Amino acid sequence: MPHDELRESVPALTFPRQAFVSLLVFAAVWETLSHLAPYLGIPPFAIPSFVRIAQSLADITPIDIAVTLARVIAALLASFVLGVSLAMAMYRSDSLDKYLHPMIRILMAVPVVSWILFAVLWFPGVEFRICFVLVVVCGPVFLVDTLDAMRGVPRELRTMMQSFRPTTPQYFIKLMLPAIVPTIFTSWKVNISLAIRVVTIAELVGAVTGIGHQLSVAEELFSVADVFAWTLVLVVLLFLLEAMVARVEVRMLRWRT
Amino acid sequence: MSGPPPIEVRGLRKVFRQATSGQAVVAIDRLDLTIAPREVVAIVGQTGCGKSTFFDLMIGLEAPSEGTLRIGDKSPHANFDHFRGRIATVFQQDRLLPWRSALDNAKLPLELIGLPEAEQRDRTLTWLKRLGLGQFTNAFPHELSGGMRQRVAIARAFSVQPDILLADEAFGHLDEVTAAELRETFLALARECGSTAILITHQLEEAIGVGDRIVVFGKSAKLLADIHVAQWPKSKHALLREAIQSTLQSDKPDPRLGRLKKSRATPNARRAATGRRKTTT
């Protein structure tokens, strides 16, 4: 049977049996190890049981989740506006592109840890430091993806549009922006995952609130159960944000189905 | 309403420089051509003869290297914005925006000229219905057949009721039955709108069937023949076809086409130019 037909024959919503089995196996191995730890010479705190992890989950402070979420969303929005605006300007101006492109590539090559250290050394405010790190990491991704997508708009469509003589804003609003929407959604999904990871590291180093800070506290207390619980929260947060973006994507790109 | 302005091409030359070798390529070499208001002109020529470059110059997307191309007293390139809503194009592929419905695609030029939303909708619906797409106004391009998509593209071009209609191999990729039907519709609508129509084609049957005039381009858009179709009775269309074919193959005017006269409007077009322009909405 051809692959396409096979894919079409699978219902849209099925029970993820394989995923469920693998998670169950992981949980069973973890729980067994947590009980066997004393006999294996592993410190008891290293592999906490699920009961202990559940206790840590119950102690999760929602304010820290809200703070991290707010930081991620605000920084992503700022990165998006900045990245897309710069990409449009670079698309319009070859010379601007030639000046900025090498700089963007260099920015993208700088490790996240270096940005965090720069932020700590340069800026006194915690919120500004975190926002700076997130924008400097996520902004270039939006920029490069948007620029590539605009350059990928078929020449036939660009010529058609130009033949009807749009103004520059009309050209971007009626052609370029709708044409790059699929890439923008992909970029958002990539950046959400990136931002969640980066914000955690940034909070770990320089914040007194947020999930990263709570992870730092857990580390100081040698509480693997707390680290596990907060990590679980981060993963769920990432999945929820991705699901939200996917939902909006389906609505906005319904012309593709 | 005044009719469309005449098109005057004098000493038109377009030279491109190849990106890799830097070598100059002459796409159009000193073309002289006059097209009268409301005339339907078919331009034929072999691949690479400069037809599409001429098309781009007519749209105004390219600037002439030398010479002039004027529509009325204005250049479509230098006075680009002046021709917003006055020139419309139908391309070889439909070039519909995949994220827009048929209705939204067809009303695109009206959005660009800033007509009120209700008028955009009414006018576009009228054209889509006239082109047999009344039931498919909300369909996306991928839900339509090739012929239907091309009809939407035609509706998009006619919706602004342009002075100049340009069609570049607009029916060449369709099956012969659909192409013939669309060709007739296009021609009837162009005449009804009172637009000047320029069709670029490599299909001689199409050129003979549609054009008041057939302009034959040789290499670098050298004007090989300028034929007034009305002077050829239907019984001699096969001969005309042969003569154009021979002209294209030899890149020299076939003697059967007669001596090439200085480009001028056909008697039909002159009559049409003095008549009132019809409106459809």
DSSP string, A101-144: HHHHHHHHHS-HHHHHHHHHHH-S-HHHHHHHHHHHHHHHHHHH
Which residues of chain A make contact with B87, given a CB cutoff of 8 A?
163, 165
Distance set, CA B183 to CA A44, A49, A99, A164 (Å): 83, 77, 50, 22
Find the mean pLDDT for residues A44-68.
91
Mark yes or no for CB contact A165/B81 under 8 Å: yes
Q: What pLDDT is stored for residue B123 in this prediction?
A: 93
Residues A20-30 pLDDT 10s: 899 999 999 99
Q: The domain at A51-256 falls in which architecture?
A: Orthogonal Bundle (1.10)
CB B50 within 8 A of CB B9: no
CB A81 within 8 A of CB A138: no
Bridge-based pairing state of the strands B40-45 and B213-217? parallel
Distance set, CA A142 to CA A23, A50, B136, B146, B207 (Å): 33, 39, 37, 36, 49
Residue A156, SS3 per DSSP: helix
Mark yes or no for CB contact B112/A175 under 8 Å: no
Nearest-angstrom CA–CA distance, A199 and B45: 63
Mark yes or no for CB contact A164/B95 under 8 Å: no
Mark yes or no for CB contact B99/A157 under 8 Å: no
Min Cα–Cα distance to chain A from B242, Å:
34
Residues A102-119 pLDDT 10s: 999 999 999 999 999 999
Element (H, E) at B228: strand B223-228
Looking at mean pLDDT, say which of A40-44, A214-218, B200-204 comes out highest: A214-218
How many other C-beta atoms are found inside a 10 Å radius of the C-beta of residue A169? 8
Q: Does A164 touch chain B (CB under 8 A)?
A: yes
CB B57 within 8 A of CB B14: yes
With cut-offs at 50, 70 and 90, classify the pLDDT of residue A12.
Answer: low
- Residue-level length of chain A: 257
Mark yes or no for CB contact B84/A164 under 8 Å: yes
Sort B251 into a burial class: Cβ within 10 Å, 0-12 / 13-18 / 19+. middle
Q: Does A21 touch chain B (CB under 8 A)?
A: no
* Homologous superfamily, domain B1-86+163-264: P-loop containing nucleotide triphosphate hydrolases (3.40.50.300)
For residue A114, the one-letter residue type is: S
Sort B241 into a burial class: Cβ within 10 Å, 0-12 / 13-18 / 19+. middle
Is pLDDT of A181 > 60? yes
* Cα B125–chain centre separation: 23
Residues of chain B with CATH 3.40.50.300: 1-86+163-264
CA of B90: which chain A residue's CA is closest? A160
Nearest-angstrom CA–CA distance, A54 and A226: 9
DSSP state of B74: B
Nearest-angstrom CA–CA distance, B180 and B191: 17
Distance set, CA A229 to CA A193, A203, A232, A236 (Å): 18, 17, 5, 11
Tokens, residue B255: 């003697």
Which residues of chain B make contact with A158, given a CB cutoff of 8 A?
none
Min Cα–Cα distance to chain B from A168, Å:
11
Distance set, CA B41 to CA A219, B46, B185, B265 (Å): 81, 17, 16, 10
Of A29, A26, A46, A30, residue with least CA distance to A38 = A46
CB A68 within 8 A of CB A212: yes
Mark yes or no for CB contact A255/B91 under 8 Å: no
Interface test with A, best of B104, B108, B166 (most A CBs within 10 A): B108
Q: Does A182 touch chain B (CB under 8 A)?
A: no
Distance set, CA A1 to CA A8, A11, A12, A67, B134 (Å): 11, 16, 19, 50, 39
DSSP state of B261: P
Q: For A163, which of B81, B89, B100 is closest by C-beta distance?
A: B89
Number of A to B CB contacts under 8 A, please give it: 55
Q: Rounded to a whole number, what is the distance in angstroms from the first to the last CA of chain A?
A: 23
Which residues of chain A make contact with B163, given a CB cutoff of 8 A?
none
Digit-by-digit pLDDT tens for chain B (281 residues) are 467 889 999 999 999 888 788 888 889 998 999 999 999 999 999 888 888 899 999 999 999 999 999 999 999 999 999 999 999 999 988 999 999 999 999 999 999 999 999 999 999 999 999 888 999 999 999 999 988 999 999 999 999 989 999 999 888 777 888 888 888 888 888 888 889 999 998 888 888 888 889 999 988 888 889 999 888 888 888 899 999 999 998 888 888 887 554 444 444 444 444 443 443 33
Nearest-angstrom CA–CA distance, B217 and B239: 19
Mark yes or no for CB contact B95/A170 under 8 Å: no
Mark yes or no for CB contact A157/B95 under 8 Å: yes
Find the mean pLDDT for residues A80-104.
94
For residue A253, the one-letter residue type is: L
Q: Rounded to a whole number, what is the distance in angstroms from the first to the last CA of chain B?
A: 14
User: Where are chain A's structural domains?
Assistant: 3-47, 51-256
Residue B89, SS3 per DSSP: strand
Mark yes or no for CB contact B99/A181 under 8 Å: yes
DSSP per position, B2-44 = --PPPEEEEEEEEEEE-TTT--EEEEEEEEEEEE-TT-EEEEE
Mark yes or no for CB contact A156/B98 under 8 Å: no
Q: Does A69 touch chain B (CB under 8 A)?
A: no
Q: Does A174 touch chain B (CB under 8 A)?
A: yes
Mark yes or no for CB contact B98/A160 under 8 Å: no
Is pLDDT of A79 > 70? yes
CA of B57: which chain A residue's CA is closest? A163
CA of A257: which chain B residue's CA is closest? B142
Tokens, residue A40: 């294996």
Q: Does A155 touch chain B (CB under 8 A)?
A: no
Is pLDDT of A6 > 50? no
Please list the residues that pair with B8 across neighbouring strands: B34, B70
How many other C-beta atoms are found inside a 10 Å radius of the C-beta of residue A72? 26
Contacts of B155 (CB under 8 A, 6+ apart): B102, B106, B124, B127, B128, B130, B131, B133
